[in-house]
């Protein structure tokens, strides 16, 4: 019985470690996408502001 308990605990620990690794990987993949959207938004605002100021002159 003790062997089965150790086996289950070992498998649980391995699954938890793998889940933690995947979570870190997913966060790394999502972050650049969010940063890219933010950069495009800020760039669009800057171009619009530039175009509006150029039209006034």
Best CA proximity match to 12, nearest among 23, 4, 24, 1 = 4
Structural domain boundaries of the chain?
Answer: 2-55
Give the per-residue pLDDT at 51.
87
- State whether residue 15 is helix, strand or coil: helix
pTM for this predicted structure: 0.48
Length of the chain: 57
d(CA 15, CA 17): 5
Q: What is the pLDDT along the chain (57 residues), one digit of tens a residue?
A: 889 889 999 999 999 999 889 888 887 666 678 888 898 899 999 999 988 887 766
pLDDT for the residue numbered 18: 92
């Amino acid at each position: 019985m003790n062997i089965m308990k150790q086996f289950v605990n070992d498998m649980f620990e391995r699954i938890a470690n793998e889940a933690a690794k995947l979570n870190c990987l997913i966060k790394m993949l999502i972050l650049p996408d969010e940063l890219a959207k933010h950069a495009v938004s800020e760039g669009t605002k800057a171009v619009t502001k530039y175009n509006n100021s150029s039209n006034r002159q």
